[in-house]
Amino acid sequence: MRRRIRVRVDGDEAFLRFEGEAREIQASEETYLVAPWLVDGVTLSDLKMAALRIQRCWGWDGEFAEGHPIVFHIPADLSPDEYWDWVGDQEYPPLSCEIQAGPLGVRARVPVTTTSKVEEDRVLEIASAAGGLYGVDVSITDRGYFATQAFWEIEVEFKRRGATVGQLVSATACVAGVIEATAEGLNQETAAAAVRAGNPDALIGAKESQWLEAKAAVWPLSTDAGKIELAQDVARFANAAGGLIVVGAATRKRGDDDIIVSTDGIRPDLVSLRRLRAVIDSRVYPPIEGLEVTVGPPAQSGNVIVLVSVPTQPPSSKPFIVHGAMVGGKVEGEFISIVRRRGEASITMGHREIHSWLVAGRRFISGEDPREH
């Protein structure tokens, strides 16, 4: 919903008041501290008009005004009481981003950190791709290198009219998150971290692999077939080197690869983490050490991404056996299945391999020396 912003001029002071909020905000050192919820429904054009009025109040015009936009500091998550305490003290808490508004438009700036070995071309490549996802233009305005880290300041500007300041802040945070998550390449840890941080779009463009599987919808756990499918999907990674299942991510075939093309998520009422975990625990043996079943923060649509993270398992625990199997399209509840991941596909262990596992286990238990056979 659109929210109005008012500027009240008193001498050479300009005060901001947002619709629905009784208190005003005064500039501190030519900068305004504005909580995210206050600007959530304020359009970029309205913020620009407010900035122009403030510039006139302060006697800024012409080229000077163009080169000195009005700065709005957007703090990180704060409760209303915490925010107004900071405003009253005219101090600045940790910031999420900075908004600059003036004759040239409205832009957001935010710092991004990578390791020092990441090159600028790589950051620009990721920033451009991420900007395309959110309909914004992204540029690098500053950079700095330290012993092990590199600092980048990115500037984000919306391409479309009618966008709000809240949407600009959100898009800026997402672009920054994608850069930090993928600057050195995506792996199981960085992919999971990106989803947990609310940046699942960092996975767009990634292909399903030895450690990554994407599913557009949750498993149909009301059926035995759905329960077996879930258990086998998890056991495949446990029998390999671990992996990550991302539920709520759609793929498209490109050549021989399945590429993640969207991360729209699923409705939270369609998934029960408790039930997912219960099915895995009851269908996969032995229990998987360190198994994680979580959801990322809700998107603006309210949808969530479900993560099933399978760490690398000790060799002594393998193979992981699934209770139940699909044979000829039918559920065989008394059967067992042993599956593992190979690339982006899965393979079932054959009878010879299963027999070798059993023989090796028997020899281990009995203390037999395999060299005697």
Beta-sheet pairing, 345-348 with 321-327:
unpaired
% of the chain surpassing 90 pLDDT: 51
Beta-sheet pairing, 25-26 with 13-18:
antiparallel
Is 91 among the domain residues? yes
Q: How far is residue 125 from each of residues 140, 172, 189, measured CA to CA in Å?
A: 11, 16, 21
- CATH number of the domain within which 298 lies: 3.30.950
Tell me the per-residue pLDDT of 116-165, one tens digit each, with 9 for 90 and over: 889 899 899 889 888 888 889 999 999 998 889 999 999 999 988 789 99
CA 247 to chain centre: 13
Structural contact between residues 284 and 320, judged by C-beta atoms closer than 8 angstroms: yes
Tell me the per-residue pLDDT of 98-108, one tens digit each, with 9 for 90 and over: 999 999 999 99
Q: How far is residue 38 from each of residues 4, 24, 73, 316, 363, measured CA to CA in Å?
A: 10, 11, 12, 56, 69
Structural contact between residues 179 and 112, judged by C-beta atoms closer than 8 angstroms: yes
pLDDT at 350 exceeding the cut of 50: no
The pTM of this model reads: 0.70
Are 154 and 212 found together in one domain?
Answer: no
Last residue of a domain, one of 152, 182, 212: 182
Last residue of a domain, one of 151, 182, 213: 182
Are 207 and 107 found together in one domain?
Answer: no
Is 371 among the domain residues? no
Given CA atoms 323, 358, 235, 292 in this order, what sign does their dihedral have? Answer: positive
Are 340 and 216 found together in one domain?
Answer: yes
Domain holding 234, by residue range, is 195-366
Query: What residues pair up with 56 in beta bridges, in sequence order?
Result: none
Are 204 and 170 found together in one domain?
Answer: no
Structural contact between residues 241 and 210, judged by C-beta atoms closer than 8 angstroms: yes
What CA–CA distance (Å, rounded) separates 373 from 368?
9
Q: Structurally, how many domains does the chain consist of?
A: 2
